[in-house]
Structure 1
Amino acid sequence: MAIVVGYLATPEGRAALETAAEEAQRRTERLVVVVSGRGDETDEQRRELDVALDGVRAELDARGVAHELRVLTRGRDVAEDLIGTAEEVRAALIVIGLRRRSPIGKLILGANAQRILLDAPCPVLAVKPAAT
């Protein structure tokens, strides 16, 4: 079993990664970090992602968290990537980051988050970054 986390180099992505790493340590489970790409990123965007992922690897190594990083560019959306990975690794938990929304935006949850919450094969923990 494993814990799956969707990661982007954003405050929401970092909050999800932090929470997922804490859960992986607490449960002594492997952490699978999923980064979904479209496949049309520029060379500069790929370099920035590589640098960000090097930082993620270093952080998880320093904490002693067993992990695997998956950069998926199959043209699927984030929800499909996370759900598919969770099914493949028989995940015990999926962790996702949520964005703060305007009062009107709070009436609807993001489409990817909603699909993950409804279709995931395991519990989903949705986190948001600390208020600044």
Structure 2
Amino acid sequence: MTILVAYAPFEESRAALDEAIRLAHLSHEDLVVVNATPGGDHKHDAAVDETEAERLQQVLDASGLRTEFRQFARGRSTVEEIRDVAAELDPSLVVVGIRRRGSFGKFLMGSVTDDVLKEIDQPVLCVKEPLKGARRD
């Protein structure tokens, strides 16, 4: 089986990746990491650039797991790409990161996370970003 992680170069995604690696070790599963942005002429903050891709690959290599990194920037939404990879792989779990939010943010979780929860058939684990100043082991 496989654990699927939605990834962007943000702290909440790094926390989700850390948790997915931990769970993959416990369950002896493979790990597939997906970064998906619309692409096109304008740069998107959620896109993994070359430096981040190298850092991510180092983390994946150090995990000791069977891993794969897939990156999409072909005019489709992040949710469509994640949904299609989830349909292809039928992972045991989809892991996404979520930001800690203020009072209004508590009302709206965030469009990508909210849409993933609505559209993915597999179980979804939401992992909070670490508290400011908290150590990440």
- 2:128 corresponding residue in structure 1: 128
TM-score under structure 1 normalisation?
0.88
- Hey, what does 1:38 align to over in structure 2? 38
Gaps spanning 5+ residues in structure 1: where?
Answer: none
SS at structure 2 position matched to 1:39: coil
Partner of 2:135: none
- Alignment partners' CA distance in 1, 2:120 and 2:103: 27
* Structure 1 counterpart of 2:83: 83
SS of the equivalent of 1:104 reads helix
Note the 1:15-94 alignment, pairs <5 A.
Answer: 15-40=15-40, 49-94=49-94
Deviation sequence 1:34-60 (CA, Å, 0-9, x none): 0112223679x8xx7122111111112
Q: Please identify which structure carries the higher helix content.
A: 1
Tell me the amino acid that sits aligned with residue 10 of structure 1: F
Which amino acid is 1:93 matched to?
A: L
Instruction: Return the alpha-carbon distance in structure 1 between the equivalents of residues 35 and 41 of structure 2.
Output: 13
Q: Which runs of 5+ in 2 are unaligned?
A: 133-137
Find the aligned partners of 1:82 and 1:112 in 2 and give their Cα distance: 10
CA RMSD of aligned residues (A): 1.8
Percent identity of equivalent pairs: 34
Asked whether 1:109 is paired with 2:106, we answer: no
Q: SS state of the match for residue 32, structure 2?
A: strand
Could you report, residue by residue, the CA deviation over 1:2-21 in whole angstroms, capped at 9, with x for unpaired residues?
Answer: 11101111111111111111
CA–CA distance in structure 2, aligned partners of residues 39 and 112 of structure 1: 16
